[in-house]
């Protein structure tokens, strides 16, 4: 499907709390962590945005994914701590109404470039439940390699999934 629009990333602002709450309440929860509140309130959005404002560029890069200036997704790269500080984890979600248009693939490429520039990291890891083929393709199209499979590692709503570990090292 063709996109018809321009993809951009921008830092979150408190003015985005309604958009963030709408996005998080509408996201397909099949493959997201249970720690994402539901219902997702504006208070939850205020907490998230406040956290991103405190940490952005220090130990993470947190961006709104926009299509023609409208928020359609969330993407972040968060640096590890202690002995894992040389790596970071990528995470993302996209509004169902704009799936299959290459938006998240482009956004992932953009945020990786920002993360390499802003954070003192050597690698970015993506953890994806095995049946989530769309998310796996986002990483693969951005040069992430499947580095391992943790068998029966995820229990999501009574469904047991293998966890795919993808990695990309700094160019």
Domain that holds residue 57: 7-124
What would the pLDDT profile of 21-76 be if each residue is shown by its tens digit?
999 999 999 999 999 999 999 999 999 999 999 999 999 999 999 999 999 999 99
Q: What CATH number is associated with residue 99?
A: 3.40.630.30
Burial of 43 (0-12, 13-18, 19+ CB in 10 A): exposed
Could you tell me what percent of the chain has a pLDDT over 70? 98
Could you tell me what percent of the chain has a pLDDT over 90? 96
Residue 131 lies in a domain: no
Which run of H or of E encompasses 94? strand 87-94
Residue 3 has pLDDT above 60, yes or no: no
pLDDT number for residue 5: 84
What would the pLDDT profile of 83-111 be if each residue is shown by its tens digit?
999 999 999 999 999 999 999 999 999 99
Residue 96 lies in a domain: yes
Distant-in-sequence, close-in-space partners of 25: CB < 8 Å, separation ≥ 6: 38, 39, 40
Residue 155 lies in a domain: no
Distant-in-sequence, close-in-space partners of 171: CB < 8 Å, separation ≥ 6: 116
Task: Count how many domains the chain has.
Answer: 1
pLDDT number for residue 1: 45
Residue 108 lies in a domain: yes
pLDDT number for residue 4: 66
Residue 161 lies in a domain: no
Residue 44 lies in a domain: yes
Residue 69 lies in a domain: yes
Residue 138 lies in a domain: no
Residue 114 has pLDDT above 90, yes or no: yes
Residue 71 pairs with which residues in a beta bridge?
Answer: 66
């Amino acid at each position: 499907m063709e996109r018809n629009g321009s993809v951009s990333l921008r830092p979150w602002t408190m003015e985005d709390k309604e958009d963030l709450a709408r996005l998080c309440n509408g996201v397909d929860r099949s493959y997201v962590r249970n720690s994402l509140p539901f219902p997702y309130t504006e208070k939850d959005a205020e907490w998230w945005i406040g956290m991103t404002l405190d940490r952005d560029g220090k130990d993470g890069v947190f961006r709104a994914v926009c299509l023609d200036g409208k928020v359609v997704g969330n993407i972040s790269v968060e640096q590890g701590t202690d002995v894992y500080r040389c790596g970071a984890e990528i995470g993302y979600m996209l509004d169902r109404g704009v799936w299959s248009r290459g938006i998240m693939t482009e956004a992932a490429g953009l945020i990786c470039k920002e993360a390499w520039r802003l954070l003192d990291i050597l690698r970015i890891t993506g953890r994806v439940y095995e049946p989530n083929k769309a998310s796996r393709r986002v990483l693969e199209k951005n040069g992430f390699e499947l580095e391992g499979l943790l068998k029966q590692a995820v229990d999501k709503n009574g469904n047991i999934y293998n966890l795919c570990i993808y990695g990309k090292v700094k160019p």
